[in-house]
């Protein structure tokens, strides 16, 4: 691959549809267009869709629209041509083959967006947001991806990086005048600025808990004793008979997962095997998996049978489960929220729910209140400096390394270490922030990021 290649790809999903869009980008984009549309002007007007006849050596391929975007005012920053044809896989493939024969090359996954990054049309965090936007399945995912695509996160990171550059410049300037014992950087001001940058990075890291949950879908595990109504609750939330419901204890032996959207937020509900003592080997494996899924969840619904369990007994079980999940949780991750819920509150003689949520999964009573609890938890997760939310694990890792470097720099400053060593720590922090926006990149990093894109984007 070279930057001088002109690349070609189908940008709409493969298969039969109303239309298909073939995209071309590179220095010879217009020449390739004219190779399949001979009657096209030699210098076509930019951003004007023109009806043309596409042909190859065998004759007419199709009639469609051609639109030219001249560099640098295009998605990739290069000359770009978009060809709209009918959605026949045969038509699309034949047109692409004609363009390849004219000197084009098939684009690699994500190569259009990679060129946009290389030509400084997008920073690296914005380029990654393109993939998130394409993959968004809920209003919340769409909102976060669009926010990052607009560059708010990248601008905040670059502002932090510029602060570190200014700090480092003052320290390094002192090194040039070390023999004169001149101090350009006020040590108190240095401490204040480092603490401020550190605090912002820490807050951005904390926002990842919310951002990642929204990006992946909020995991909600439904746990409880056999016959508490877990599968019935899952079906009620989904409004579909997804999970098998039976009066026989131990019917659910594996997890059942489904996703729904509430108020624009994607939730992934997980029905688990009933928690009880059993000698059945397969059921024990299912119960072990239930605890594991509960530990990985953001919310755990502990469902109790109001016909056999009191509210006080459910609250005790909730406390014990919370302690167990907190103990088994990986270091650095907060324990999930355990929501005690009494089911079957509609049956005669059932325990009354006063301190917990009471529902009837069978007729839907109380489900709205339970959904409100889910949304309340999601809103409580939100944090982020200036409303910026981190959604990418790579960005979090870079921010953590930035915090480590700043912590070392602060210790060096307090310990009276030489300015040369202090400058090294500050440069490390700059480097890690630069990795987020692409100021600092490697071929391996770019390959890893853009290989996950679809071809044509």
Rounded distance, CA 425 to CA 441, Å?
19
pLDDT of residue 74: 96
Q: 53-62: which pairs have CB atoms within 8 A and are 24 or more residues apart?
A: 54/83, 54/85, 54/95, 54/98, 55/98, 56/94, 56/95, 56/97, 56/98, 56/101, 57/98, 61/36, 61/85, 61/91, 61/94, 61/95, 61/98, 62/86, 62/88, 62/91, 62/95
Judged by phi (left if over 0) then psi (alpha if -120 to 50, else beta), residue 131 lies in alpha
> How many CB atoms lie under 10 A from the CB of residue 145?
22
Q: Tell me the pairing of strands 218-224 and 299-305.
A: parallel
**pLDDT tens, the chain, 457 aa long:** 445 899 999 999 888 889 999 999 999 999 999 999 988 888 899 999 999 999 999 999 999 999 999 999 999 999 999 999 999 999 999 999 999 999 999 999 999 999 999 999 999 889 888 888 888 888 888 888 888 888 888 888 998 888 888 877 777 766 655 555 545 456 777 888 888 889 989 988 888 888 887 888 888 988 888 888 888 888 888 886 654 444 444 444 445 788 888 888 889 888 876 555 554 555 456 566 667 777 778 898 999 888 888 888 899 988 988 888 887 765 556 778 899 999 988 888 777 778 899 999 888 889 999 999 999 888 877 655 556 788 888 999 999 999 999 999 888 888 877 667 888 888 899 999 999 988 877 777 788 788 878 888 8
pLDDT computed for residue 251 by the predictor: 45
Q: Could you tell me the two tokens for 132?
A: 């998130």
Give the pLDDT confidence score for residue 348 in this predicted structure: 82
Could you read off the pLDDT of 274-295 as tens digits, one per residue?
555 554 555 456 566 667 777 7
Distance of alpha carbon 400 from alpha carbon 432, whole angstroms: 9
Q: Report how far residue 213's alpha carbon sits from residue 378's, in angstroms, rounded to the nearest whole number.
A: 9
For residues 343 and 307, what is the distance between their CA atoms, to the nearest angstrom?
A: 8
- Report the alpha-carbon distance of residue 176 to residue 182 in Å, rounded: 9
Whether residue 223 contacts residue 272, with contact meaning beta carbons closer than 8 Å, is answered with yes
How many Å apart are CA 99 and CA 97, to the nearest integer?
5
First-to-last C-alpha distance (Å) of the chain: 16
For the chain, give every domain's residue range: 7-123, 139-212+389-437, 217-360
Instruction: Tell the CATH topology of 139-212+389-437.
Output: 1.20.120
Please tell me the predicted confidence (pLDDT) of residue 174: 63
Please tell me the distance from the alpha carbon of residue 35 to that of residue 55, in angstroms, as a whole number.
Answer: 8
- CA-closest candidate to residue 324, choices 335, 313, 309: 335
pLDDT of residue 287: 63
Give the class (CATH, top level) of 217-360.
alpha beta
**Token reading at 69:** 């975007």
Query: CATH 3.30.1360.120: does it fit domain 7-123?
Result: yes
Residue 22: predicted pLDDT: 97
Residue 21: the pLDDT is: 96
pLDDT value of residue 263: 86
């Amino acid at each position: 691959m070279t930057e001088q290649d002109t690349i070609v790809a189908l940008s709409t999903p493969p298969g039969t549809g109303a239309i298909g869009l073939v995209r071309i980008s590179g220095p010879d984009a217009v020449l390739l267009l004219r190779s399949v549309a001979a009657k096209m002007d030699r210098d076509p007007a930019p951003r004007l869709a023109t009806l043309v006849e596409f042909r190859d050596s065998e004759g007419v391929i199709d009639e469609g629209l051609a639109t030219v975007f001249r560099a640098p005012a295009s998605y990739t920053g290069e000359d770009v041509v978009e060809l709209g044809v009918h959605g026949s896989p045969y038509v699309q493939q034949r047109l692409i083959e004609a363009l390849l024969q004219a000197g084009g090359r098939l684009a690699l996954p994500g190569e259009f967006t990679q060129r946009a990054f290389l030509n400084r049309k997008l920073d690296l965090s914005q380029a990654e947001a393109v993939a998130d936007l394409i993959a968004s399945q809920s209003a919340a995912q769409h909102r976060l991806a669009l926010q990052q695509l607009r560059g708010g996160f990248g601008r905040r990171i670059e502002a932090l990086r510029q602060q570190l550059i200014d700090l480092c410049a003052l320290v390094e300037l002192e090194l040039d005048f070390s023999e004169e014992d001149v101090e350009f950087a006020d040590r108190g001001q240095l401490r204040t600025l480092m603490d401020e940058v550190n605090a912002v990075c820490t807050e951005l890291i904390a926002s990842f808990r919310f951002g990642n949950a929204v990006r992946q879908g909020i995991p909600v595990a439904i746990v409880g004793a056999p016959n508490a109504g877990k599968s019935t609750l899952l079906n009620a939330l989904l409004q579909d008979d997804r999970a098998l419901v039976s009066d026989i204890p131990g019917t659910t032996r594996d997890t059942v997962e489904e996703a729904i959207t509430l108020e624009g937020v994607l939730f992934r509900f997980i029905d688990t095997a009933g928690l009880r003592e059993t000698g059945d080997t397969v059921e024990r494996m299912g119960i072990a998996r239930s605890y594991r899924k509960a530990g990985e969840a953001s919310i755990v619904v502990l469902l109790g049978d109001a016909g056999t369990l009191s509210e006080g007994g459910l609250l005790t079980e909730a406390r014990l489960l919370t302690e167990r999940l907190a103990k088994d949780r990986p270091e650095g991750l907060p324990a999930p929220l355990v929501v005690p819920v009494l089911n079957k509150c509609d049956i005669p003689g059932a325990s009354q729910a006063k301190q917990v949520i009471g529902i009837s999964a069978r007729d839907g009573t109380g489900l709205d209140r339970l959904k409100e609890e889910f949304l309340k938890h999601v809103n409580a997760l939100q944090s982020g400096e200036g409303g910026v939310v981190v959604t990418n694990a790579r960005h979090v890792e870079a921010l953590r390394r930035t915090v480590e470097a700043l912590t070392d720099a602060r210790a060096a400053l307090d310990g009276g270490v030489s300015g040369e060593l202090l400058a090294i720590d500050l440069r490390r922090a700059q480097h890690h922030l630069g990795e987020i926006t692409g100021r600092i990149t490697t071929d391996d990093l770019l390959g890893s990021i853009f290989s996950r894109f679809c071809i044509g984007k």
